Structure 1
Amino acid sequence: MINYEENIEVRGARVHNLKNIDVTIPREKLVVITGLSGSGKSSLAFDTIYAEGQRRYIETFSAYARQFLGGLERPDVDKIDGLSPVIAIEQKTTSKSPRSTVGTITEIYDFLRLLFARAADAYSYNTGEKMVSYSDDQIKELIKTSFSDKKINVLAPVIKSRKGHYRELFEQIAKQGFVKVRVDGEIQDIRKGMKVDRYKTHDIEIVIDRLKITQTPELDKRLTESINTAMYSGDNVLMILEEGTAEPRYFSRDLMCPATGISYPVPEPNTFSFNSPKGMCPHCNGLGKVYRINEDKIFPNRKNSIKAGGIAPLGEYKNSWAFKQLETIASRYQFELTDAIKDIPDEALNVILYGGKESFEVDSKTLGVKRTYKIDYEGIAHFIKSQFDESNSTSLRRWAKDYMDKKECPDCQGSRLRQESLYFKIGQRNIAELSQMDISELAIFFDGLFPKLDTNQQKIAEEILKEIKVRLRFLLDVGLDYLSLSRSSKSLSGGEAQRIRLATQIGSQLVGVLYILDEPSIGLHQRDNRRLIKSLQSLRDIGNSVIVVEHDRDMIENADHVIDIGPRAGRHGGEIISQGTPSDLKNHNTLTADYITGKREIPVPKRRRPGNGNAIVLTGCSGNNLKNISAAFPLGKMIGVTGVSGSGKSTLINETLYPIMNAHYFNGVKKPMPYKKITGLEFVDKVIDINQSPIGRTPRSNPATYTGVFSEIRSLFTKTPEAAIRGYKPGRFSFNVKGGRCETCQGGGLRVIEMNFLPDVYVACETCNGKRFNRETLEIRYKGKSIADVLEMTINEAVEFFENIPKIYRKLKTIQDVGLGYISLGQQSTTLSGGEAQRIKLATELSKRDTGNTFYILDEPTTGLHFEDIRVLMEVLNKLVDKGNTVLVIEHNMDVIKMVDYILDIGYEGGREGGKIVARGTPEEVARDKKSYTAKFLMQELNKHREMAKKGSEQRAETIVHR
């Protein structure tokens, strides 16, 4: 009998390539599902187990509610028993909104806002003094004691340092029954008529009452009424002016500076939110960045004249209104449009950029009389800014952005918050300063904060501090100590985003949940892997089941149960080929077991390539956490850029080196991070960046369309005799446009049957039977195959089929070479695993003609790859380098690092403690470095390889002796 309390039982799973498999997964254990990329791991974990868990959860809702939520399709599985509530922590990236930060997605910033709203001390932004606030009774007692037996004026401030004539205000004050006002320090009778200079700044207060402070019951009542009236008119602030003195004293129900009278509203959590009007900086709207005109982009070469196109947005001279105005400005400031821009007077350039209005007279040489000219010019800079701010046209805004730079907001210095919010402090730090600290630094700050608070603050803050410290601890446990709360979520890698979600789940302390994770070790240095494994084990130990789709050797060896899917990928995978403890796995004859035990290995090269003697040298890099470093990239080699997570690898390569090279070779517009100089670009012909962005988000995208091979195939079909007779063009063979596609399913091959509160059902289109094309199109055949038959072919079959068509063959062969021969040409991109998608991108670039001087940049190409997939990938990359190209990989995987010719190791730590070059040289040279974290693991890998080689040679020697 099956015990559902101990196991999750999956019976007859057939999703994607799964071969009707049965599998038993132990509950409350750390279970790793491994296997080749495309073997069916994600199909089992996410598309079967997680999908069924989600579907069952939605089925608990009423039929009425389900019709609004939309149902989930039942996965193709006979049954799943023993299933707990399921939470998936996938590789999908977090929000791309610029308003989303590490602090907001972990909710730590929400607790910080609450802490500051309830326990922070407020300080004046004018004097730095601590702010005070009073109740009405306290104000009354202070007035009675401070001004005893003195004559005072009770004033309500209504205007503070603002220009205007204020006629309507004075009329309104008079209607309310007040007869006196104090204007710029002088008390005046409003009945005698009021007139002030509209162009000067003024301070205006209403005189609410004039009285002598005596200790009588009548005065007590009158003072109470005066305070209430003054607070109402003065927006919770009043002033007491002793007769015969010039300086008033301020009192406020709100927080107030006793010296200058400025007041802050009572703080609330939204006061510290950059997503709320109450807290956001009004200049940048809480984004921390603003777009500013870059004059050097408007005048790219100041040696050019205006007529020769020296003003980039206007181009070369033409008979237009703008150039007529420039001629008028030239007459006024006595220069010619043929003069070099550097020789034009600064005053004139200022008018050209920022506009002006002026009339002037000039002697007419032809008529001999004075003529009046008028300048009424908006200014190029103002026009560009107005187009960027106000235009509804995307192309116009993009045009305007070309002449602007994204700069830190000058008002809030990038903190995103309004001035008042930054003057609330805890432990002498404001909320923006805490948000900019590394997580490790912030944890130390909060560990020592409680004793520094006063008794009241301790009572208020105790519970909030507990929540903050627990969440910070979980972020540290998953290796994210180098991040800061202010870090934008769109700058996070997939691995970082997933580990943040993992930390959030650990913090929720749920029990009895099934967690499914997709390669959480991505982007994590070997040093931090142990911490990640401990975090997953802690999730298991409190009573949860944890399933991890993973290739990492350490994760597999530390699992309680390992399920190996294979034996190969795609149609040749989808079977359970091994399951049991890690020890059991080593006894099975599978590819995974062979790599774990060392029967197979990715060999270390016998020699390192010397390169071609040239190098690209990048000097003075200081973006993000880089410490003004210089780096040389030797050409004709495979270069590995290594270092702990957050050390600065991506900043140096993706944010500095690639934008410089892309701008040089292809006029790319992305601005690189700060650097001083780069040399050696002349030794390279082009740069190709293969990053981790997905290849397509819709089912209509597939490997054939993404690689461009489908266009060639469609052109080939148009050249068949039958297509030529019928006059078919390439569009006839596209399932995305009308003409050749099936119009019943609009080229989708499936029809959606809406089931209201049940999930939508997808059925093969009855008109085309899932072929996507109409009958006439399918009648055109090439070598006996229709266009639909070609899309059904695997890459291996297609390589053979198109071997005599060089253009098609070359592209298909590169897909086959990166180990994707098993996928079909028309497979929906949404069904591809992460590793498959990235290798298709790689194949697309590799299919282009390389010059032998191409510089390839790959960011963690081992994402989602099994040991065997990495071996195949490295063979392809090595062929590229052998042709003379340069390949640079940003990597943590030791199987790749040990194979490169040159390593650039960045560290020592992540975040602020990183950004330095720790070690450089061949893997053997770097492995001897005592300070590098990478060196320690690299030395272990190289030693293991030497031992394996020694053992292999001894075994061969024994065999010879035996013979």
Structure 2
Amino acid sequence: MSEIRIIGANQNNLKNVSVDIPKHRLTVFTGRSGSGKSSLVFSTLAAESERLLNETYSSYMQHQLTRFEKPDVDHIENLPVAMIINQKRLGGNSRSTVGTISDIYSTVRLLWSRIGEPFVGYSNVFSFNNPGGMCEKCQGLGYVEDIDLCELLDFDRSLNEDAIRFPSFRPDSWRGKRYLYSGLFDNDKKLRDYTEEEMDTFLYTKPRKLKDPPENWPRTAKFEGLIHRFRRSFLLNDNFEKKRFLEDVNRVVTSHKCPACDGKRLNPKVLSCKVAGLDIAEFTALSIDDAISFLEARKDEKAVFIIKPLLEQLRALSYVGLNYLTLDRETPTLSGGESQRIKLIRHLNSPLTDLVYIIDEPSVGLHPEDIEKINGIMCSIRDKGNTVLVVEHDPDVIRIADHVIDIGPGAGRHGGEIIFRGTYQELTESETPTGEALKRKHRLKEAPRQPDGFIRLENITRNNLTDVSVDIPKEALSVITGVAGSGKSTLLFAGLGNSSESIFINQKPVHASSRSNLLTYMDLFDDIRSFFSRQTGLKKGMFSYNSEGACPECGGKGVIRTELAFMPDFSQVCEVCGGTRYRPEVLEAKVKGYSIADVLALTVEEALAVFRQNTGVITRLRHLEATGLHYMTLGQSLDTLSGGEIQRIKLSRYMDSEATGQIFIFDEPTTGLHEDDIPRLLACFEQLISQGNTVILIEHNLTMMTHADWIVDVGPGPGARGGSVMYSGFPGGLPGISGSPTAKHLGRYISE
């Protein structure tokens, strides 16, 4: 019972892996990007733990939970309940804040209800999600949205001519027919010719039954003015429809601070209640550090038992480097790293033990100074009697492991094997790619490029920056560094955000669904379908699983999902196409022995050999390979990619361009990269610079700093303790800067 035993794991690229993982220890899983770490830890171990746990609940409860398929593994023994702390953003909507997601706001509400003056009610009235507390005008959102009629409507058209300029209101759509079939309007009349009464009926009628409606009007339907219907469908909730048509919603809708509550979300009565001169919204707008100072000054005896746990929660947020956040910060605006740290501290004081905590790259978004604190928290969780499993590339995290499992030796089909098990010290003495990387000596770039002109960022005042100016050399590799929240991103976005030469390449997901894949994003799928059409004689549309070629049984999804009322939805691989998504006759059409489904299953590396005669395809595949994505399959859905993979895909699209004179800005491009894969990325940056471009990296990775031509260090701390340029110049001058956390850690790194 002292080990978790995995026997015969074959998930994704794993090759019949069997391994024992010690319980009550901190084990770090290492290996090249795409080697199989996540397949073993998340897709096998974590998925099976959650699947088995969910099966213990009632059918009704199972229906509310995420359904996990049984992983491809023979057996797992001694498996504890898993707590998964991943990099997925906390998400939610504008009603979800740092305060609500962490449960801190509920304690704050209790405090204001007990000692706030005048007394306005109990804690629930201080909730902006409660009808008794929310501002009536904005319904607790803090902002109001207006519909721009000039964007929504084309007044020179009639209803038959598609006058409503929104995809789901077209004449042939069910929403569009609610106006065309109402019998209330002349469908060939231009909107500009409507009378005032007709326009009022069209736009503002509240839902009502029609008297003597036309025959094609649905019997139970009510007529509703366009503004009411649009507001209800797309503005009142962050629903699937809104996300689906987000680009059009943003075009039609304007948003501004609610004039009634000044963005505070609550009604005047609730805001009249104050503690030491602050209403509850003003308190939640303070930074975490300022909120701590405010609470430490409160000496009310009635509130001691409330303030003590509240301070513990806030100090935990500050300790993990989130002291610059505010409790009213909306969760959708948080980065993956910030989200992960909030999840992590939730478990810090948990009384539960004998769990397995599975943590995905906790170093993401963190400066080495902050990584020390995260390491302390993970060790604390272990010391309470839990098992901690960490997937990680950062040497500073690997160093604290009780046990290391290295997976490789390469990526994709070249990985999927356990190539090392042992201590950190034993790993550094091994000849695995990770072991070789860890014992490599590092030194600063010996001959950094000499600046031939500078980009001047001048007098920037935004967030925690006050009148900051800095020079960044042109046609060079510059690294902007500093602790999380110090002002790095603010500096660049404020200084270069409006520049026509600036190209920001971040980790935000591309707009994609499960039907979008690597080939569609790279604009390669069309070329490959044309190639198959020429070679086989079938129509080009037959090679699309979103069109004529889709399997008739599953509609090109590859799976059949069956809804079972109060039981969980049941999914299974389509028996007709075997999960390939295509019609049988399409699968029979082969070129060089490959069907179109076989091609989608190829890795980038394998596809290079198959398409070596097709210059256009080969060129773009080589750019993907150059960014370190050689292990990805051509048909991999874009909604399954990590932030680092998304950023590298975006980069690859610029590799075959003739871009020159541009400023490329990358936000932590080493995210998810093994130390041995960093040279690939550097080669891409060097190519961009050789074409006459400037490359600027927002980065914490110490190896990347050693390759910089120029370093700008922002700090020294986060939030109000940051916002100053500590150093700007050649890398060699940084280690000597006193008071800089970056200088301290970079100096250590090059001396090890």
Structure 1 residue 752 displacement after superposition: 5.0
Asked if 1:272 is matched to 2:132, the reply is: no
Take 2:564 and 2:268, find their aligned partners in 1: how far apart are those partners? 54
Take 1:752 and 1:399, find their aligned partners in 2: how far apart are those partners? 30
- Residue 222 of structure 2 is matched in structure 1 by none
Take 2:8 and 2:157, find their aligned partners in 1: how far apart are those partners? 76
Take 1:824 and 1:742, find their aligned partners in 2: how far apart are those partners? 21
1:831-880 deviation line (CA, Å, top 9, x unaligned): 55554444233223334x13222322211111111101222211221222
TM-score when normalising by structure 2: 0.83
Q: In structure 1, the residue corresponding to 2:665 is in which secondary structure? A: strand
- Residue 593 of structure 1 is matched in structure 2 by 435
Matching of residues 344-383 of structure 1 within 5 Å: none
Indicate conservation of the 8 Å contact 2:562/2:569, yes or no: no
1:815 to 613, 624, 634: 624
Structure 1 residue 432 displacement after superposition: 2.2
Structure 1 residue 793 displacement after superposition: 2.4
Indicate conservation of the 8 Å contact 2:507/2:644, yes or no: no
Asked if 1:924 is matched to 2:739, the reply is: no
Matching of residues 373-772 of structure 1 within 5 Å: 391=230, 406-449=255-298, 452-453=299-300, 458-459=301-302, 461-598=303-440, 604-613=444-453, 615-654=454-493, 656-657=494-495, 659-661=497-499, 664=500, 684=501, 687-695=502-510, 698-720=513-535, 722-723=536-537, 728=539, 730-737=540-547, 739-751=548-560, 760=570, 762-763=572-573, 765-772=574-581
Q: Which amino acid aligns with 1:31?
A: T
Indicate conservation of the 8 Å contact 1:586/1:594, yes or no: yes
- Residue 594 of structure 2 is matched in structure 1 by 785
Structure 1 residue 595 displacement after superposition: 1.5
Take 2:398 and 2:152, find their aligned partners in 1: how far apart are those partners? 62
Q: Which amino acid aligns with 2:13?
A: N
Take 1:705 and 1:577, find their aligned partners in 2: how far apart are those partners? 35
Indicate conservation of the 8 Å contact 1:740/1:777, yes or no: yes
Structure 1 residue 271 displacement after superposition: 2.3
Q: In structure 1, the residue corresponding to 2:481 is in which secondary structure? A: strand
Asked if 1:117 is matched to 2:139, the reply is: no
Distance 1:778 1:397, change over 3 A: closer
1:592-627 deviation line (CA, Å, top 9, x unaligned): 1112122xx6764332123542x4433333332222
Indicate conservation of the 8 Å contact 1:37/1:836, yes or no: no
Take 2:646 and 2:252, find their aligned partners in 1: how far apart are those partners? 36
Take 1:388 and 1:906, find their aligned partners in 2: how far apart are those partners? 48
Indicate conservation of the 8 Å contact 1:72/1:759, yes or no: no
Matching of residues 13-162 of structure 1 within 5 Å: 13-62=9-58, 66=62, 69=65, 71-122=67-118
Take 2:645 and 2:247, find their aligned partners in 1: how far apart are those partners? 34
Structure 1 residue 464 displacement after superposition: 1.9
Asked if 1:896 is matched to 2:750, the reply is: no
Take 1:579 and 1:695, find their aligned partners in 2: how far apart are those partners? 37
Q: In structure 2, the residue corresponding to 1:620 is in which secondary structure? A: strand
Indicate conservation of the 8 Å contact 1:474/1:507, yes or no: no
TM-score when normalising by structure 1: 0.66
Structure 1 residue 115 displacement after superposition: 1.3
Q: In structure 1, the residue corresponding to 2:469 is in which secondary structure? A: strand
1:538-565 deviation line (CA, Å, top 9, x unaligned): 1111111111111111111111111111
Indicate conservation of the 8 Å contact 1:695/1:837, yes or no: yes
Indicate conservation of the 8 Å contact 1:479/1:532, yes or no: no
Take 1:448 and 1:40, find their aligned partners in 2: how far apart are those partners? 51
Indicate conservation of the 8 Å contact 1:703/1:829, yes or no: yes
- Residue 162 of structure 2 is matched in structure 1 by none
Matching of residues 903-942 of structure 1 within 5 Å: 903-942=711-750
Take 1:872 and 1:767, find their aligned partners in 2: how far apart are those partners? 41
Q: How many residues get paired? A: 683
Take 2:111 and 2:369, find their aligned partners in 1: how far apart are those partners? 34
Structure 1 residue 291 displacement after superposition: 5.4
Which segment is superposed worse, 405-414 or 94-103?
Answer: 405-414
Q: In structure 2, the residue corresponding to 1:508 is in which secondary structure? A: coil
Take 2:543 and 2:330, find their aligned partners in 1: how far apart are those partners? 44
1:195-232 deviation line (CA, Å, top 9, x unaligned): xxxxxxxxxxxxxxxxxxxxxxxxxxxxxxxxxxxxxx
Indicate conservation of the 8 Å contact 1:859/1:890, yes or no: yes
Structure 1 residue 107 displacement after superposition: 0.8
Indicate conservation of the 8 Å contact 1:636/1:884, yes or no: yes
Which segment is superposed worse, 104-113 or 916-925?
Answer: 916-925
1:146-177 deviation line (CA, Å, top 9, x unaligned): xxxxxxxxxxxxxxxxxxxxxxxxxxxxxxxx
Take 2:37 and 2:356, find their aligned partners in 1: how far apart are those partners? 16
Q: Which amino acid aligns with 1:786?
A: S
Distance 1:287 1:879, change over 3 A: same
2:606 to 797, 801, 805: 797
Q: In structure 1, the residue corresponding to 2:554 is in which secondary structure? A: coil
Q: In structure 2, the residue corresponding to 1:639 is in which secondary structure? A: strand
Q: In structure 2, the residue corresponding to 1:23 is in which secondary structure? A: strand
Take 2:623 and 2:638, find their aligned partners in 1: how far apart are those partners? 18
Take 1:886 and 1:389, find their aligned partners in 2: how far apart are those partners? 49
Matching of residues 300-311 of structure 1 within 5 Å: none
Asked if 1:881 is matched to 2:719, the reply is: no
Q: Which amino acid aligns with 1:717?
A: F
Q: Which amino acid aligns with 2:71?
A: P
Say which one has the larger Rg.
1
Take 2:745 and 2:340, find their aligned partners in 1: how far apart are those partners? 24
Indicate conservation of the 8 Å contact 2:561/2:569, yes or no: no
Q: Which amino acid aligns with 2:342?
A: I
Q: Which amino acid aligns with 1:606?
A: E
Distance 1:905 1:408, change over 3 A: farther
1:485-511 deviation line (CA, Å, top 9, x unaligned): 122212211001010011111133322
Work out which structure has the larger RCO, using CA pairs closer than 8 Å and 6 or more positions apart in sequence: 2
Take 1:587 and 1:559, find their aligned partners in 2: how far apart are those partners? 15
Take 2:268 and 2:443, find their aligned partners in 1: how far apart are those partners? 60
- Residue 282 of structure 1 is matched in structure 2 by 136
Indicate conservation of the 8 Å contact 1:73/1:759, yes or no: no
Distance 1:658 1:708, change over 3 A: farther
Matching of residues 255-270 of structure 1 within 5 Å: 266-270=120-124
Structure 1 residue 584 displacement after superposition: 2.0
Q: In structure 1, the residue corresponding to 2:278 is in which secondary structure? A: coil
Q: In structure 2, the residue corresponding to 1:760 is in which secondary structure? A: strand
Distance 1:638 1:512, change over 3 A: same
- Residue 839 of structure 1 is matched in structure 2 by 648
Structure 1 residue 525 displacement after superposition: 1.1
Q: Which amino acid aligns with 1:622?
A: T
Indicate conservation of the 8 Å contact 1:38/1:832, yes or no: no
1:218-253 deviation line (CA, Å, top 9, x unaligned): xxxxxxxxxxxxxxxxxxxxxxxxxxxxxxxxxxxx
Uncovered stretches (5+) of structure 1, i.e. residues with no partner: 123-254, 256-265, 299-311, 321-374, 665-683, 945-963
